[in-house]
Structure 1
Amino acid sequence: MRSLTTRLGALALVGVLGLTACSFDSDSTTGTGDGAGTLRVANPTPVVSLNPFAANSADQPTLTVVQEVFETLVVRDNGEIAPNLAESWTNPDPLTWQFALRDDVTFADGTPLTSADAKASLQALIDGKGPLAGLWATVEEIGTPDEHTLTIRTSSALGTVLSNLTLLWIAPAAKITDSAFFDAPYGTGPFKVSSFTAGQSVELVRNDAYRGDQPKLATISYRYIPEVSGRVTALTNNEIDVTWGLPPDQLTGLRGNDALTVQSFPTYANYYIWFNSSREPFTDARVRRAMWHAVDFATISGSLFDQAGTPATGPLPEAIFGAAAQNPYPYDPAKAKQLLTEAGYPNGFTTSMMWSTGCCTNGNSFADAMISDWAKVGIVVKPEELERATWLDKLLKLDWNSTMTTGSTITGDADFTLARLYLSTAKRNGYTNPALDEILLAARAELDQDKRADLYAQAGKIVWDDAVGIFPLDLSGNVVLRTGVNGFTPTPNDLPSFAGVSLS
């Protein structure tokens, strides 16, 4: 049975966009005396895919839903790795991991779980070449000695295997290559998908064959309501039961509503602006540093993000394993102009910045404020707000100049962000640095956790000092629940889960 504290994910602050709320039938979603019923969830970022093995393998909206459907071999419980679908594991040698799978698990269709399903899932994640594939770059062989034993052999020691496995969702081997399966997928988890309309809605129903504690909810209904005012209205009108990522100025009024409960908490998430270091003028670190010095982040944060987060001290939030504080970039327009002149742009330049609709709390206002400050030093930035699917496609193709987004180190381990995103082979932001690669690969291979932490601190300093991106804010999360929603417990991994929730 999965640990409740492990499964209940925290929520990164996500965006403010521009549609109106959809309507919910409140009569059909009332809880019953035993807590059963439909939990009505308004997610502020659209769920565009339920396939966790390809382009959306690290997409938070996708993972928020699929974690209710699929399970992983291991989980992180109170900071420690614990068994889940795998009962135990060993290291016969530094290059080999062997996992003993439970023999009492079935998928929602009654098919028994076997090692073939685990192998197919890991292979699909690697073959999908999505954002998580790089975590498994050193895998040489995936073996299935018997139906309940899985072996993973790597070309070099991989100290992050267990951490990585917390994001490997196990799907049926017979279905995993069928794209149509992910229109209504099922796994071994407490819920299964009954309907899915990309970008709009997802309906989950209880998996009565689930081996663990049965969810108290009969169904979970996700609806995309991008506009803040729409979600607030839906809450106050009893059209939804839960939403998150509301801007701070909305929370004050909601705290005074007796029908609502507001929870705020720290997360593993942060706000960042990346530069495409493979495109002029961002090939020059002086230009990237100038972009940072040119913006008055302290003033902007005070006006837009009060109680929504804290000023970042590095490229990772402080609570993450391997994070380390770095020297801040002060607001200094004169320094920015000096750096631009040294880089050959005394009169500035024209560029663009993209972001996805719904990516970030107060995203449009934040972009406007930065663009205004950049203009003061001669940098003209064209704003490009894109639908999420379009933004993600351009992001992965490196078809952009700069981009604004939020992200979460979901595993709580620095490798998930630093190695996954900043290795030269990742090709995520156009930045290449052999010295950084060497440190990150050494950290990934290191089995001594103290040494790993030291190496990630060194890597974080390079990313920060080279201004691969701007890292202004570590995010706090917030969730607003209607009275009668019981059992929700946030944790910092940015994946809100509702399997433990009941309604009264």
Structure 2
Amino acid sequence: MRRTRAASLIAIGAAAAVVLAACGTAADNGGTGGAGSDAQRNGTAEGAVKGGTLNMLGAGDVDYMDPNITYYSVGYQVARMYSRQLFTNPADPATNRTAVPDLAESIPTTDNGGISADGKTWTVKIKQGTMWNSTPPRPVTAADEVIGVKRTCNPVQPFGGLPDFQNLFVGFKAFCDGFAKIGQDAAAMKAYIQNTPLAGVTAKDDSTVVFTLNQPAPYLAEMLTLPALGPAPVEYLDSVPGSTDLGKKLIANGPYKVDSYDPTKRIELSRNPSWNASTDTVRGAFVDKIVIDETQSQESVQQQLQTNTPSADMQFDVATPASQIPQLQAANDPNLTLGSTASSNPYVIFNFKSPNNGSALAKPEVRQALAYGINRDNIIQVQGGPAVSPPLTHILPPSLAGSKDSNPYPYDAAKAKQMLAAAGFPNGLTLKFLYRNASEASSKTFATIQQDLSKIGVKVEGVPSPNADFYTKYLQVPDVASRGVWDLSLAGWGADWFGNGGAISFFSPLFSGQPSFPPVGSNYGYYNSAEANGLLTQALAATDVAKQNDLFGQLDELITKDVAIFPITNPNWPTYRATQVHNAVYMDSLQNFDPTNVWLDADKNG
């Protein structure tokens, strides 16, 4: 959720911006061959059925329809349909963690001249024939890519993963600092974008983008798979970034266009007549329409999918309820996928800014006591058990380079109570817990932690939130944290990209101090450590991979000991589809099957 970027933020049971990996039954080819590779041949897969309406069901909305702003896995799902990037991940279970060309002609290398000898200049050519469905339709240009990158640091709602790259592109930090002073008027922001150059991202000509970096970044192609770093048409500058107004008049360059958007209720998309299939080797675009119903419940969605209700094909922002997974596994249900992940999802957030209890959570001794007092095993049980939710006791998931195994705070209620008294709270605390009441697992995790902490004299009061409000009205709003509306909460995170440097997308957005504070970053607890910041600076500057990974390991250990968060699990993500859905390829970045590559039975196509 998003993430993943994940990519790019939840507890099991509702979706977020977390980036997940395919495994097990991650691809279904519906009786045909080669689910992933066939889908990339734009509707020519053997046995593929074209046409019909794909119905997706969920319980909540995207964070933003704006592709340069969304940092939430359901936002990535919708963006996948109408928005393309220079590079993306293919719907292939064997390679969906690898960047491939999307709008770009090829992946730049030193051999093909796309990357300079010092690794600091990347030149990317945009394919001919890629079009916006503007009036009249026009080509996607390098200038559009520059606009897209610039929009990510707008002063209204900056992209949450900005810390990943704000110091990478030459001049970008200064550009963003100036942008922050412009105000929130659309006309003023448009003038700033159009009149303020960005040395690190330029249009050499209509089809050539040049990225100039402060330091080599071998992972840049993977980073540029983020929807936020895709091109934006000039028309977007007439609307406030992230606004509902913009969400209702999006311009598409993908296979589908947005016909209507009714926030928290419904999104409808249909074929984009300006999309040229010959330029898109990633999206099969088999169905004619995609309808997203956001008014369901998690349990209702699962029931409709399992009973093959005609208007139910795929999940949207919900996962299979954890309580139902053992039964589905025992029955070897072929429609259930458990995708392995490179994520920490969920984890407990501690609000360092909360004034409650005399600002107790700012004290490391208090957080350490709470860490000893939370029984990770109990939470894992309500998350579906260790097969679905294997324990994670430190920051980085094991699959990321630099992950360092440690468990400094094993469950010990007696020690927790003793430490809490020593920290000045012999009579305990009263803490407010923000959670999503529409998510079974989020609700059960809250209840489990509430029960655990009661054993050490800590009273936990619930602050329920709808899915759509959880980030936009709570976690992303600094004033809400500083007023003590919440003390504890749940989030989830996955790497924005994989391979070398992937740990950057954990440490920079979540734990880098001021640069990662909301609304720019996703450091929702406002963790800030001079020692951690120094190690991260060294890691970002390291050119030797082994040295960089060693520094990541030191960061993993330090931040874990600081109890910046309480990690719980690196889960396998439960995703379900109806029987009529074929070519269902699980995508890490979408936390779902790729909706642009599935097809439906001819007699059950909505």
1:9–1:490 CA contact under 8 A, matched in 2: no
Equivalent position amino acid for 1:503 in 2: L
2:489 maps to 403
Measured against aligned partners, the alpha-carbon deviations of 1:270-326 in whole angstroms (never above 9, x if no partner) come to 210111223311111111111111122213423542243111142232223443322
Deviation, 1:453, is: 2.4
Q: Using the alignment, how far apart are the partners of 1:8 and 1:287 within structure 2?
A: 31
Aligned residue among 218, 237, 242 for 2:314 = 242
Deviation, 1:36, is: 1.5
2:445 maps to 366
2:147 maps to 120
1:7-18 aligned within 5 A: 14-15=12-13
Question: Are residues 1:181 and 2:246 paired?
Answer: yes
2:340–2:571 CA contact under 8 A, matched in 1: yes
Measured against aligned partners, the alpha-carbon deviations of 1:423-444 in whole angstroms (never above 9, x if no partner) come to 0121222211122112223323
Q: Using the alignment, how far apart are the partners of 2:457 and 2:144 within structure 1?
A: 56
Measured against aligned partners, the alpha-carbon deviations of 1:403-422 in whole angstroms (never above 9, x if no partner) come to 11223324232211211111
1:468 maps to 564
Q: Using the alignment, how far apart are the partners of 1:353 and 1:13 within structure 2?
A: 14
Range moving further from structure 2, 417-426 or 95-104:
95-104
Deviation, 1:254, is: 5.0
Q: Using the alignment, how far apart are the partners of 2:204 and 2:148 within structure 1?
A: 16
Q: Using the alignment, how far apart are the partners of 2:6 and 2:511 within structure 1?
A: 28
2:424 maps to 344
1:316-355 aligned within 5 A: 316-355=396-435
2:129 maps to 104
Change (3 A) 1:258 1:75: closer
1:11–1:477 CA contact under 8 A, matched in 2: no
2:262 maps to 197
Q: Using the alignment, how far apart are the partners of 1:97 and 1:122 within structure 2?
A: 15
Equivalent position amino acid for 1:108 in 2: N
Which secondary structure state, in structure 2, belongs to the residue aligned with residue 123 of structure 1? helix
1:298-309 aligned within 5 A: 298-306=377-385, 307-309=387-389
1:171–1:187 CA contact under 8 A, matched in 2: no
1:85 maps to 103
Change (3 A) 1:261 1:314: same
Which secondary structure state, in structure 1, belongs to the residue aligned with residue 234 of structure 2? coil
2:6–2:496 CA contact under 8 A, matched in 1: no
1:377-396 aligned within 5 A: 377-392=456-471, 393-396=473-476
Equivalent position amino acid for 1:204 in 2: L
Q: Using the alignment, how far apart are the partners of 1:137 and 1:301 within structure 2?
A: 36
1:11–1:492 CA contact under 8 A, matched in 2: no
Deviation, 1:11, is: 12
Range moving further from structure 2, 212-221 or 283-292:
212-221
1:148 maps to 207
Aligned residue among 222, 225, 235 for 1:163 = 222
Which secondary structure state, in structure 2, belongs to the residue aligned with residue 493 of structure 1? coil
Measured against aligned partners, the alpha-carbon deviations of 1:430-488 in whole angstroms (never above 9, x if no partner) come to 21112211222332333443333222222111221111111111111122222221101
Q: Using the alignment, how far apart are the partners of 1:69 and 1:424 within structure 2?
A: 34
2:308–2:579 CA contact under 8 A, matched in 1: no
2:5–2:71 CA contact under 8 A, matched in 1: no
1:133-144 aligned within 5 A: 133-138=162-167, 139=169, 140=171, 141=199, 142-144=201-203
1:498 maps to 595
Equivalent position amino acid for 2:163 in 1: G
After TM superposition, the score normalised by the length of structure 1 is 0.87
1:245–1:361 CA contact under 8 A, matched in 2: no
1:482 maps to 578
Measured against aligned partners, the alpha-carbon deviations of 1:350-387 in whole angstroms (never above 9, x if no partner) come to 121112344x5511111011011111111112111112
Tell me the C-alpha RMSD between the 2 structures: 3.0
Which secondary structure state, in structure 1, belongs to the residue aligned with residue 462 of structure 2? strand
Equivalent position amino acid for 1:111 in 2: R
1:59 maps to 72
1:415-426 aligned within 5 A: 415-425=504-514, 426=516
Change (3 A) 1:74 1:453: farther
Q: Using the alignment, how far apart are the partners of 2:88 and 2:489 within structure 1?
A: 32
Which secondary structure state, in structure 2, belongs to the residue aligned with residue 489 of structure 1? strand
Which secondary structure state, in structure 2, belongs to the residue aligned with residue 267 of structure 1? coil
Which secondary structure state, in structure 2, belongs to the residue aligned with residue 152 of structure 1? strand
1:14–1:45 CA contact under 8 A, matched in 2: no
Range moving further from structure 2, 370-379 or 98-107:
98-107
Q: Using the alignment, how far apart are the partners of 2:586 and 2:410 within structure 1?
A: 33
Equivalent position amino acid for 1:241 in 2: D
1:201-212 aligned within 5 A: 201-211=266-276, 212=280
Aligned residue among 271, 279, 293 for 2:346 = 271
Aligned residue among 261, 269, 288 for 2:335 = 261
Aligned residue among 348, 363, 366 for 1:287 = 366
2:38 maps to none
Deviation, 1:494, is: 4.1
Which secondary structure state, in structure 2, belongs to the residue aligned with residue 490 of structure 1? strand
Q: Using the alignment, how far apart are the partners of 1:7 and 1:153 within structure 2?
A: 23
Equivalent position amino acid for 2:552 in 1: Y
Which secondary structure state, in structure 2, belongs to the residue aligned with residue 192 of structure 1? strand
1:69 maps to 82
Deviation, 1:232, is: 2.7
Range moving further from structure 2, 98-107 or 155-164:
155-164
| Structure 2 unpaired stretches of 5+ | 16-46, 109-113, 172-198, 518-522, 602-606
| Structure 1 unpaired stretches of 5+ | 1-5, 18-31
Q: Using the alignment, how far apart are the partners of 2:428 and 2:140 within structure 1?
A: 59
2:126–2:208 CA contact under 8 A, matched in 1: yes
Which secondary structure state, in structure 2, belongs to the residue aligned with residue 355 of structure 1? strand
Aligned residue among 218, 224, 229 for 2:299 = 229
Structure with the larger strand share:
1
Equivalent position amino acid for 1:455 in 2: L
2:347–2:568 CA contact under 8 A, matched in 1: yes
Measured against aligned partners, the alpha-carbon deviations of 1:191-221 in whole angstroms (never above 9, x if no partner) come to 2111111112211212233232651111111
Identity of aligned residues (%): 21
Which secondary structure state, in structure 1, belongs to the residue aligned with residue 597 of structure 2? coil
Range moving further from structure 2, 71-80 or 365-374:
71-80
Q: Using the alignment, how far apart are the partners of 1:73 and 1:232 within structure 2?
A: 35
